[in-house]
DNA sequence: CATGAATGAGAATTCATTCAT
DNA sequence: GATGAATGAATTCTCATTCAT
């Protein structure tokens, strides 16, 4: 957690610092992050950084939390507003909200993605926890689908959640990379459709009789 | 490529060096690799390393090639020996061969996995190429399935290959990590079954009528 | 150019660092200079050096500039204060001023001399430029002498400037070396007389009728 | 001195090694010489070098001696064949012979030149000795001129020798550098004329009444 | 609370020289 | 006498973190 010093800073300055950190970690994983670059970008003194945070890691996890919160502002409405939507529509909306988030805050999304493939060795636990959390969340949604009868009763829920999670992650990463290249162009619709396809494919499988 | 000096070394010593490099890069990505650790583990002089290789990168890609070759010894028989097996059985066998490889050479497998999530920013091209190659390979197999009628004719082959590749990658990583923990225990069967499940799930989808 | 960090240092410390660098490069050419020796002599941390300068070359050229400026404080008064002195008296005074400079700042003079015979292969351009500049300067002075009639009209000005420059350089180097040995002794007068002789010799030639 | 091992080598191989060393030291001063480059060029094993010579310095001075001998084959005839030529014609011929040598053996000449401006710090004595030898030689010639009346009796012989030596050295260096650039072109005559000019200038001085 | 200089361990890489075969 | 692998000290440069002002 940042030191009190940080929170006493005027909002504008706090924001500038946070943005520098996000910028850094949307390009480099934690282990490659550089205090030098961050303070330069934030235009603060080298020492100030250490008045605000214990160290690089402290700053990283603090900002990562903010990213998570931001992402939740996209997802929460969906979860809360539609309690008895078919589960599969829920997934569709969630994925689409993810795309929206990535398009509107590409740096935050990139930081999140970078985090999830963080050196599987450093801070393994934290990452693993986060991953498990996400998969469990998917799992719970699917469970609901089983209860409502939308989903075959003999489905391996864990595996389904696993596949959904990792496929969505991989597709999101690809999308972020493409957005970076074709910056500005409006590929939002395109990506949403792609996520729809992916969901459909996983729902109905590769081998399909009628659909 | 290693310098001639390296190939002039007695086999045993070459092997020791190679193993040190593999050990290093099954734990650290290229950018975090340390010559110091490698030479210590291989028990050679600091300078010797530079008699063998141009630099760390040289060593890395050389060994990565060896890993690829080794993996191919597991996959090649399957591809060659069973030309007209149903495509889906082929996948099943390939996945199982992958598990076998991971179980028998966990470090090699880890190095390969680490490579594929290599800092998405450094050497992007090489990694991306490799990934695309793998996905294209899956895609071609699926195409065959379409031709033989095993697979629905309106399937988005690219997306299917994408989902298969990344799901398999993610599961393999999890498996490798677990093997590390429960080292020695015979979880091979267990993992094979898990891969079977995954394949089945992706084949038939989450929402299944009869199966 | 040094980084701002360097100029923020207290004068005394800046001076100490500069002196260490001069000391280094009055003994070794750029290519042989050692950061290790400099930081030891200046009694600063290894890393501090790199806070002040980009690298050894940066430090070298910065200090070389200072040396040049210092030398100009000896030469400038002569050039400006005596516009219509006979050219040959000008040379005499310039040479003597050079001796004065060498006697009062032997290390600076040595550094300058070392620079001018810098590995004729590295940084050739910079050195060559400097040499040409000096010769051209001599040439222009001689030209004036031709115009005032002091100098025979058929003289090869370029060759004369060339001979003057290199003879003076060589003599200066010898003088500096001797000062080093007989350190402290007052050889100043002696050297000035020697430079006078040299000038006279080149003026009137080896084969002289009357003089 | 080289070890006996070296002299037992077949002539052709000896020659190849010598040429590699000359090539090296016509480009780099002793302190920058690299055994690695030499053995590569000579196509011998790293260890062989140390069977032939004690170390780099040993090789250097041995080959330097050969260079001196070679140069003497150009100068000796002049000294011996014309005992009562006017001293100044002798100088002219010597300088011209020097140019000839430089044109026909540019690498040897470059090595010699590089030697004479060798890090004034390393092996100072050897270089100084050589320089003094050359100047003394010039001095003795001039002395003869004094005795025959060619040269004014009040001339400062030491200074004259000094100026002659260093001017000639400097001009030779410039000539060698130009030959390197305009390789192949026949600039020999041009340079000889230039040396003639220089000699004349130093003989008759900058300020000349009639000439 | 801001500042930015100081620190020094640690990284990669080079290379003359030795020595076992 | 030839070979070339082994060695390790020495080099430059980087950077997170501390600390005095």
Question: How far apart, in whole angstroms, are the C-alpha atoms of residue B153 and residue A127?
Answer: 39
How many alpha carbons fall within 13 Å on the CB side of residue A45?
A: 4
Helix boundaries (H) for A117-187: 124-148, 157-181
Contacts of C117 in chain D (CB under 8 A): 117, 120
Q: How far apart are CA D53 and CA D55, in angstroms?
A: 5
Structure token digits, residue C71: 């030398």
In this model, does residue C211 exceed pLDDT 50? no
Which residue blocks in chain C are alpha helix, DSSP H?
4-8, 11-25, 35-42, 46-52, 56-81, 87-104, 106-116, 124-147, 157-181, 188-204
- In A, minimum Cα distance to B124 occurs at A177
- Average pLDDT estimate for D69-98: 91
pLDDT at D94: 95
The number of beta carbons lying within 10 Å of the beta carbon of residue B85 is 13
Distance D102 CA to E12 C1' (A): 43
Distance CA(C18)–CA(C7), nearest Å, equals 12
Dihedral sign for Cα atoms in the order B191, B197, B202, B206: negative
Which residue of chain C is at minimal alpha-carbon distance from D167? C163
Partner residue facing A201 (CB), from B29, B119, B163: B163
The answer to which of A68-77, A202-211, D26-35 has the lowest mean pLDDT is: A202-211
CA distance B51 to B72: 29
The residue-averaged pLDDT of D22-50 equals 92
Chains D and C touching, counted as 3 or more CB pairs less than 8 Å apart: yes
Whole-number distance in Å between B32 CA and E11 C1': 11
Q: What is the pLDDT of residue B119?
A: 58
* Residue B151 and residue B145 in contact, taking contact as beta carbons nearer than 8 Å: yes
Tell me: pLDDT of D66 over 60. yes
Q: Length of chain B, please?
A: 211
- Strand E, nucleotides < 7 Å from a protein CB: these are 1-20
**Cβ-based contacts of A121 with chain B (< 8 Å):** 27-28
Least confident of A84-88, A194-198, C107-111, D87-91: A84-88
Percent of chain D with pLDDT over 70: 94
* More confident of the two residues D9 and D187: D9
- Considering A64-68, C30-34, C146-150, D153-157, the range whose residues carry the highest mean pLDDT is A64-68
Identify whether the C-beta of residue B33 lies closer than 8 Å to the C-beta of residue B41: no
Instruction: Give yes or no for a contact between B170 and A173, defined as CB atoms under 8 angstroms apart.
Output: no
**Among D31, D35, D32, CA closest to D54:** D35
Does the pLDDT of residue C83 top 70, yes or no? yes
Average pLDDT over residues C53-82: 93
| Pick from C114, C104, C108: nearest CA to C188 | C104
Contacting residues for D4 by C-beta, under 8 A, at least 6 apart: none
**Residue with smallest Cα–C1' gap to F2:** D48
Q: What is the pLDDT of residue B122?
A: 52
Looking at residue B158, its pLDDT comes to 94
Structure tokens at A132: 């498990």
A chain contacts of residue B160, beta-carbon cutoff 8 Å: 201, 206
Whether chain D lies against chain A with 3 or more Cβ pairs closer than 8 A is: no
In chain A, what percentage of residues exceed pLDDT 70?
A: 93
Instruction: Give the closest-approach CA distance of A162 to chain B in angstroms.
Output: 8
The answer to whether C121 contacts D28, with C-beta atoms less than 8 Å apart, is yes
Read off the tokens for B207: 């929402």
Mean pLDDT for C144-157 is 89
Looking at residue C119, what is its pLDDT?
Answer: 58
Q: Does residue D120 register a pLDDT over 70?
A: no
- Say if CB C60 and CB C30 are below 8 A apart: yes
The token pair that represents A161 in the structure block: 């959640």
Between A124 and B121, residue with greater pLDDT: A124
Q: Is residue C209 pLDDT above 80, yes or no?
A: no
CB nearest to C201's CB, from D159, D173, D177 = D159
Q: Point out the residue among C29, C194, C206 whose CB comes nearest to the CB of D202.
A: C206
Nearest chain B residue (CA) to A121? B27
Do residue C28 and residue D120 have CB atoms under 8 angstroms apart?
Answer: no
10-residue mean pLDDT series, chain B (211 residues): 93 95 92 92 94 94 95 93 84 94 94 80 69 93 90 90 95 89 76 94 75 44
State how far the Cα of D104 lies from the Cα of D90, in Å rounded to an integer.
21
CA distances from C80 to C8, C65, C100, C149 (A): 34, 21, 18, 21
Q: Are A71 and A45 in contact (CB under 8 A)?
A: no
Question: From the centroid of its chain, how far is CA B64?
Answer: 10
Please check the confidence at residue C198 and state whether its pLDDT lies above 60.
yes
Residues listed for chain A: 211
Identify how many contiguous H helices and E strands chain D contains and give both numbers: 10, 0
pLDDT value at residue D180: 79
Mean pLDDT for the stretch of residues C175-199:
85
Assess whether chains B and A touch, using the rule of 3 or more C-beta pairs within 8 angstroms. Answer: yes
B109 at A interface, C-beta within 8 A: no
For position D211, what pLDDT does the model report?
44
Are the CB atoms for A179 and A194 separated by under 8 Å?
no
d(CA A75, CA A134): 13
- Residue C153 — pLDDT band, cuts 50, 70, 90? confident
| D17 lies within 8 A of chain C by CB | no
**CB of residue C47 closer than 7 A to nucleic acid strand E?**
yes
- Name residues 37-56 of chain A with a Cβ under 7 Å from nucleic strand E: 44-48, 50-52
- How far, in Å, CA of C91 to CA of B132, rounded? 76
Grade residue D60 by pLDDT with cuts at 50, 70 and 90.
Answer: very high
Interchain contact C86–D (C-beta under 8 A): no
What domains are there in chain C, each with its CATH number? 1-66 (1.10.357.10), 82-211 (1.10.357.10)
pLDDT at residue A173 greater than cutoff 50 = yes
Mean predicted confidence (pLDDT) in D182-204: 87
pLDDT higher at C186 or A48: A48
Give the chain A residue nearest B162 (alpha carbons). A167
Distance D110 CA to F6 C1' (A): 36
C152 at the D interface (CB within 8 A)? yes
Alpha carbon distance C185, D14 (integer Å): 51
Segment A148-160, tens digit of pLDDT: 888 888 889 999 9
pLDDT value at position C188?
87
């Amino acid at each position: 957690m940042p030191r009190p010093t940080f929170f006493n800073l005027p909002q504008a300055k706090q924001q500038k610092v946070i943005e520098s950190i996000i910028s850094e970690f949307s390009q480099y994983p934690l282990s490659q992050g550089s205090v030098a670059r961050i303070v330069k970008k934030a235009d603060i003194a080298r020492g100030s950084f250490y008045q605000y945070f214990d160290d690089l890691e402290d700053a990283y996890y603090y900002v990562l939390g903010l990213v998570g919160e931001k992402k939740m502002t996209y997802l929460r409405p969906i979860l809360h507003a539609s309690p008895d939507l078919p589960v599969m529509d829920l997934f569709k909306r969630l994925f689409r909200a993810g795309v929206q988030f990535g398009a509107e805050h590409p740096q935050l999304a990139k930081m999140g993605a970078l985090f999830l493939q963080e050196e599987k060795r450093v801070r393994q636990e934290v990452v693993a926890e986060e991953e498990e959390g996400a998969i469990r969340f998917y799992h719970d949604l699917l469970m609901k689908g089983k209860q409502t009868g939308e989903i075959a009763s003999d489905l391996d829920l864990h595996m389904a959640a696993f596949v959904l999670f990792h496929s969505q992650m991989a597709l999101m990463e690809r999308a972020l990379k493409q957005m970076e290249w074709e910056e500005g162009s409006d590929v939002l619709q395109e990506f949403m459709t792609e996520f729809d396809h992916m969901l459909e494919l996983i729902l109905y499988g590769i081998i399909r009789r009628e659909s």
